Amino acid sequence: MINVGLLGCGNVGHILARHAENFRIVAVFDIIPDRAQELAALSHAEPYADFDEFLRQDTDIIVEAASVAAVRRYGEAILGAGKDLVVLSGGALADDEFRTRLIEAARSAGRKIRVPSGAVTGLDNLKIGQISPLQTLLLRTTKSPGSLGISTPARMEIFKGMAHECIKQYPKNINVAVALGLAAGREADVELYVDPDVERNVHEIFAEGEFGDIYIRVRNVPSPENPATSYMAALSILTLLKNLDNPLVVGT
Ligand SMILES: NC(=O)C1=CN([C@@H]2O[C@H](COP(=O)(O)OP(=O)(O)OC[C@H]3O[C@@H](n4cnc5c(N)ncnc54)[C@H](O)[C@@H]3O)[C@@H](O)[C@H]2O)C=CC1
Ligand SMILES: O=C([O-])CC(=O)C(=O)O
């Protein structure tokens, strides 16, 4: 059974703790120590208030479910300590210079950085864009205004532009756009809407290339403790952890 270190003890951290069946959470860390304490009690793990001490524990992989800022702050140290790293806040990888450094840290340590599909589907075969470049890659995301702390009586576009710009403005809401671009080998265009009539987090992906075209619509149930985060994002990490040691790899 693999030993997991959990970085971030919020909404996703709790879902992981409740479903830790094929892995063991042994160490937890959060910038808010009370959250680490509380999650540790739930998962029978040890809480750490000091990050270096957290890193010294006997873990095979660190799962980040915290923030873009946390990936930037701790990512290189985690890989340098010889741990694999799961990055849910993939928006951190929009910065070319940081991403290059992080990949180099992984390469030098012989470790892997794993970006789960998170709140979308289709990342597997969108990777064909790395072989045959896509002419179109657009993500249209619609969330409830409340989940972004906005109040509006009607559907409203709040961002239109490139993924690396959108993640700067909405680091808690559009990590999927950066993951999409990393899979497809080109940056995604993004349209972000808030709509008081939606009860789900809707991600529509439009892609076009030599292969033909794709339209995917994901209508995600918001997760219980953070409506901006789709429940699927936590399920995606659980699935990644379940298959980590599986010799049979399905999907590109
Ligand atoms: N790639 C994807 O598809 C998705 C990514 N996400 C991202 O995953 C992350 C976790 O989501 P939730 O659990 O819903 O968020 P949350 O806000 O409920 O929990 C995050 C936890 O991490 C802690 N944290 C934040 N910055 C930290 C730091 N620098 N060091 C240590 N702890 C820190 C917070 O105190 C909090 O307890 C967020 O960044 C979110 O934007 C969420 C959904 C989908
Ligand atoms: O959970 C979602 O629907 C997407 C999200 O918050 C993100 O990509 O940061």
Residue type, 92: A
Ligand located closest to 167 CA? 2
C-beta of residue 141 within 8 angstroms of C-beta of residue 201: yes
* DSSP summary character for residue 187: P
Residues 105 and 144 in one domain: no
Burial 174-196 (b: 16+ CB within 10 A, else e): bbbbbbbbbbbbbbbbbbbbbbe
Residue 251 lies in a domain: no
Domain boundary among 115, 131, 157: 115
- Tell me how far CA of residue 167 lies from CA of 112, 191, 238, in angstroms: 23, 12, 24
Average pLDDT over every residue of 241-246: 96
Residues 85 and 167 in one domain: no
Pocket lining: 73 vs ligand 1, CB cutoff 6 Å = yes
Average pLDDT over every residue of 89-96: 98
- Å from CA of 56 to ligand 2 middle: 30
Average pLDDT over every residue of 130-145: 98
Pocket lining: 201 vs ligand 2, CB cutoff 6 Å = yes
- Catalytic residue from among 14, 19, 164, 203: 203
Number of domains in the chain: 2
Phi then psi for residue 206, to 5 deg, are -120, 125
* pLDDT over 90 at 235, yes or no: yes
Ligand located closest to 218 CA? 2
Residue 239 lies in a domain: no
Its domain, for residue 147, covers 123-229
- Å from CA of 119 to ligand 2 middle: 6
Pocket lining: 42 vs ligand 1, CB cutoff 6 Å = no
Domain boundary among 72, 92, 115: 115
Ligand located closest to 28 CA? 1
Residue 152 lies in a domain: yes
Which residues does residue 218 pair with via DSSP β-bridges, in sequence order? 203
The rounded percent of the chain whose pLDDT value lies above 90 is 100
- Please give the pLDDT value at position 169: 97
- Please give the pLDDT value at position 166: 98
Residues 34 and 133 in one domain: no
Residue 250 lies in a domain: no
pLDDT in tens, 29-67: 999 999 999 999 999 999 999 999 999 999 999 999 999
Round to whole Å and give the CA distance between 252 and 250.
7
Round to whole Å and give the CA distance between 52 and 139.
37
Residues 136 and 188 in one domain: yes
Residues 56 and 88 in one domain: yes
Residue type, 251: G
Is 175 annotated to bind a ligand? Reply is yes
Closest by CA to 11, choosing from 87, 67, 78, is 67
Closest by CA to 198, choosing from 176, 177, 219, is 219
**Distant-in-sequence, close-in-space partners of 230: CB < 8 Å, separation ≥ 6:** 118, 119, 201, 218, 220, 221, 222, 223
Residues 79 and 127 in one domain: no
- Please give the pLDDT value at position 57: 98
Residue 241 lies in a domain: no
- Please give the pLDDT value at position 224: 83
Tokens of 173: 């809401």
Pocket lining: 223 vs ligand 2, CB cutoff 6 Å = no
Where residue 108 sits, what CATH number does that domain have?
A: 3.40.50.720
Residue 26 lies in a domain: yes
Phi-psi region of 251 (alpha: psi -120 to 50; beta: other; left: phi over 0): left
Residue closest via CA to ligand 2's atom 6 equals 173
Please identify which residue in the block is written with the tokens 């003890």: 9
Is 183 annotated to bind a ligand? Reply is no
The rounded percent of the chain whose pLDDT value lies above 70 is 100
- Å from CA of 127 to ligand 2 middle: 20
C-beta of residue 105 within 8 angstroms of C-beta of residue 72: no
Pocket lining: 147 vs ligand 1, CB cutoff 6 Å = no
**Mean pLDDT for all residues in the chain:** 97
Residues 16 and 95 in one domain: yes
Residue 209 lies in a domain: yes
Residues 100 and 152 in one domain: no
- Å from CA of 4 to ligand 2 middle: 23
* pLDDT over 90 at 20, yes or no: yes
pLDDT in tens, 138-175: 999 999 999 999 999 999 999 999 999 999 999 999 99
* ipTM for this model: 0.98
Where residue 189 sits, what CATH number does that domain have?
A: 3.30.360.10
Identify whether 203 is a catalytic site residue: yes
Residues 32 and 87 in one domain: yes
Residue 159 lies in a domain: yes
C-beta of residue 220 within 8 angstroms of C-beta of residue 203: yes
C-beta of residue 26 within 8 angstroms of C-beta of residue 3: yes
